[in-house]
């Protein structure tokens, strides 16, 4: 009887240890707080857990693992397995994907932003570029066109931006510079303090971020139709960690991405944008609309020179810059 019980105990322990060995936990580095910008990651965690019966879990941290500008570095050294970052935070580290941040590309929807991003992310040169950081691009964080909330006198013409200090990263910052503004690159978490202290007078954000990071709380005006572009903020995974997953867990993760993105888009279009108009109206924020001629002049001054400069700079890096630019603009022209 003792022999039978011993054998039973050994089997039970073996099963327990085997179950424990099958469990996988990944740490995920985000920043700020849970908001529309992170809902696809939250949904991904929910889906992966459900698909694997709780054997694969994503532990999401908002700022507890790394500063947002250091998330790519953390991925490189394996400090965590998944992270979100914005290309404009460190353009030299991820030059290939900054093609998606060029001003006035003419992206018309979040769905189109996803299609463009995923096509760029799968280009061999882009895979190699992010591979330098042991990073695999998993999915974008699609954002609508950025516009500006500011304090002080509202601009009523493009010329009124002369000398305005504005938080604007990447291609949007370059575009703002063409109309005389003074762009400053800083992370989203630094913006409210900089605005309150007078370091900057205006902030370029997507609507969710204006609400999440408090710029609407002291803003006086909003550019309703400037639409200079957007930023590209991918979610990446540590390549070694991805390769080390079991086939089942890797499949669960990758198969969950389209559903997570669909949820993100639905939430942004139907919840965030529904809340945006009332957020402006309730605070008495003036909505500034520019004439078509002024927008056309702004685009003419910013778009072509920024694209030419981007192509020249990144050709020198050894990237197929013209090919990447033509792919993106070609897809937009086709309505892809």
**Per-residue pLDDT at 87:** 95
Res. 14 pLDDT band, cuts 50 70 90: very low
pLDDT, tens only, 276-321: 999 999 999 999 999 999 999 999 999 999 999 999 999 999 999 9
Report d(CA 227, CA 107) in Å as an integer.
10
What is the number of helices (H) and of strands (E) in the chain?
14, 11
Order the strands of the 24-30 sheet from edge to edge.
56-62, 24-30, 82-84, 235-238, 135-139
The verdict on domain 23-142+231-272 having CATH code 3.20.20.140 is no
**Per-residue pLDDT at 6:** 52
Dihedral over Cα of 171, 103, 132, 322: its sign: negative
Where are the chain's structural domains?
Answer: 23-142+231-272, 147-230+285-334
The answer to whether residue 17 scores a pLDDT higher than 50 is: no
Report d(CA 87, CA 78) in Å as an integer.
20
The answer to whether residue 5 scores a pLDDT higher than 70 is: no
pLDDT, tens only, 167-187: 998 889 999 999 999 999 888
Burial 294-304 (b: 16+ CB within 10 A, else e): bbeebbebbbe
Q: Average per-residue pLDDT in the chain?
A: 92
Pick the CATH number of 147-230+285-334 from 3.40.50.1980, 3.40.50.2300, 3.40.190.170, 3.40.630.30: 3.40.190.170
Do domains 23-142+231-272 and 147-230+285-334 share one topology? The answer is yes
pLDDT average, residue stretch 204-215: 93
Tokens for 288?
Answer: 């500034």
The answer to whether residue 55 scores a pLDDT higher than 90 is: yes
Identify whether the C-beta of residue 72 lies closer than 8 Å to the C-beta of residue 134.
no
């Amino acid at each position: 009887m003792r022999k039978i019980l011993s054998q039973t105990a050994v089997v039970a322990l073996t099963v327990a240890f085997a179950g424990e060995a099958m469990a996988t936990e990944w740490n995920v580095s985000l920043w700020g707080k849970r908001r529309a910008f992170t809902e696809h990651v939250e949904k991904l965690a929910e889906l992966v857990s459900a698909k694997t019966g709780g054997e694969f879990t994503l532990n999401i941290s908002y700022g507890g693992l790394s500063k947002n500008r250091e998330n790519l570095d953390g991925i490189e050294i394996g400090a965590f397995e998944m992270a979100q970052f914005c290309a404009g935070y460190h353009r030299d580290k991820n030059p290939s994907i900054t093609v998606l941040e060029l001003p006035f590309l003419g992206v018309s929807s979040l769905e189109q932003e996803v299609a463009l991003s995923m096509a760029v992310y799968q280009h061999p040169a882009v895979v190699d570029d992010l591979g330098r950081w042991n990073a695999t691009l998993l999915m974008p964080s699609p954002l609508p066109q950025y516009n500006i909330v500011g304090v002080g006198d509202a601009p009523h013409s493009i010329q009124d931006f002369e000398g305005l200090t504005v938080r604007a990263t990447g291609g949007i910052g370059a575009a703002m510079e063409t109309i005389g503004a003074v762009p400053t690159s800083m992370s989203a978490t630094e913006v409210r303090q900089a605005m309150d202290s007078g370091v900057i007078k205006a902030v370029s954000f997507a609507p969710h971020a204006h609400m999440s990071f408090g710029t609407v709380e002291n803003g006086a005006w909003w550019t309703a139709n400037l639409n200079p572009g957007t930023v590209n903020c991918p979610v990446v995974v540590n390549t070694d960690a991805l390769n080390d997953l079991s086939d089942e867990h890797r499949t669960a993760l990758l198969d969950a991405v389209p559903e997570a993105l669909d949820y993100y888009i639905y939430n942004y279009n139907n919840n965030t944008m529904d809340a945006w108009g009332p957020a402006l109206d309730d605070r008495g924020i003036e909505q500034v609309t520019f004439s078509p001629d002024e927008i056309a002049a702004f685009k003419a001054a910013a778009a072509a020179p920024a694209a030419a400069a981007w192509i020249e700079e990144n050709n020198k890096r050894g990237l197929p810059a013209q090919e990447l630019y033509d792919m993106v603009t070609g897809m937009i022209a086709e309505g892809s």
